[in-house]
Structure 1
Amino acid sequence: MATQQMSVTMTGFAATHPSRHPTIAKLVTFRMASTPSWNDNGEWKDSGTLFIDVQCWGRLGDHVMHSVVKGAPLVIVGRMNSYTYTPENPRMTRDGKEMLETVWRLTATNVGLDLSHSTSTWSLRDRVKESQDASAPAPVGEGAEASSFGGYSAVAVSAGDGEGDEDTPADNPDPELATAGDTTPF
């Protein structure tokens, strides 16, 4: 068991669309942007934006690939790690030495929609759908709970912006959000 790993929860927005690593099929990556803001006597102020690389492995990566789009509000839990390298054209220190660059990344264990920015419904993962009896309808609506599905987790479907927007019901998601070819935009 690893010790002294920094586990964090971050909120922010997907700064890029997720992409599958060209040589590591089980790895999906994207950038996340997080800008802290605060209210100063009725005026909202922002501090600098933090951009961080997010890595999602295995089934989580598959779900992120089909669910997350650029601009989506996210809550991500994972482990922070970093690596240092010398860039092709490094900056120099005052004493003439090459400066190293450090890249921080978050290896995600959980990725979810930040419901403080939108409303959502959810759909079952494909593995759960395939295992259900085809003749039995899946429970849906307010009475359906995760335990109804054997405790399996699910991915969310966008259903508006949370401001009473009824133009985008859960069964007809925003086409721009469904660019991954799946009706489950988030």
Structure 2
Amino acid sequence: MSNETFLTIRGFAGADPTVFHNESGRVTVVIRVGVTARNFDRRLNTYSDGTTAWYSVRCYGDLAENVSRSIHKGSPVLIRGRLSPRTWTDKDGRTRTDYAIAADSVAIDLNTGWATFVRTRKQSLEPIEGEPAHAASADDEAPPPSLDAMHGEEIAEPVEPELEESAAGVLQALA
């Protein structure tokens, strides 16, 4: 094992992802993630926001493509990756250092909302005996039909409860 620093951060995307394509067609996506600590003041018995730390998060390959489609400004995210310094010289000739995270995992933080997962396929599947072969296509990236979570029946559109509704209201809507 090498002497590298891996970390996990929890924060919010500060802007929509920036997508870069290189000459060979590979994709790199960069997102800026702000992480603000919440501090508890025992004297006042209240929480307050600490200083916001900003990280550049770099994603490559399939992860980059999926992040570009899934993460938007304000998205609550969990990032795991390798921390690495990037050093450059600014326009005034001063040496600057920025700490970037080369992400190996990016997730939506479900503490603040819900999400729907759609699996993508980039390669052909092995045929199952008795079934025709299937090649990956653009149709593979379309969302699957929605199912009623309680009954397993297909429904016309997903139920999207208003944020203000109570859990009882959501259950009543599904019944």
Deviation at 1:4, TM superposition (A): 0.8
In 2, Cα distance between equivalents of 1:87 and 1:126: 42
SS at match of 1:49: strand
* From 85, 88, 96, the counterpart of 1:85: 88
1:162–1:79 CA distance, 2 compared to 1 (3 A): farther
**Which residue in the other structure is 1:60 paired with?**
63
Identity over aligned pairs, percent:
24
1:17–1:47 CA distance, 2 compared to 1 (3 A): same
In 1, Cα distance between equivalents of 2:162 and 2:14: 19
**Which residue in the other structure is 1:121 paired with?**
116
Deviations 1:41-83 (A, max 9, x none): 3322122111110100000000001110010000000000012
Task: Compute the RMSD of aligned alpha carbons.
Answer: 3.4
Deviation at 1:127, TM superposition (A): 4.3
Deviation at 1:120, TM superposition (A): 2.5
**Which residue in the other structure is 1:9 paired with?**
8
* From 45, 48, 52, the counterpart of 1:42: 45
1:161–1:56 CA distance, 2 compared to 1 (3 A): farther
In 2, Cα distance between equivalents of 1:84 and 1:103: 6
Aligned pairs for 1:1-186 within 5 A: 3-23=2-22, 25-40=26-41, 41-90=44-93, 99-127=94-122, 164=165
Q: Which runs of 5+ in 2 are unaligned?
A: 135-143, 151-159, 171-175
In 1, Cα distance between equivalents of 2:149 and 2:121: 21
Q: Is the 8 A contact 1:118 1:160 kept in 2?
A: no
User: TM-score normalised to the size of structure 1?
Assistant: 0.63
Deviation at 1:38, TM superposition (A): 1.8
Deviation at 1:142, TM superposition (A): 5.2
Higher relative contact order (CA 8 A, sep 6+): 1
Work out the number of aligned pairs and report it.
141
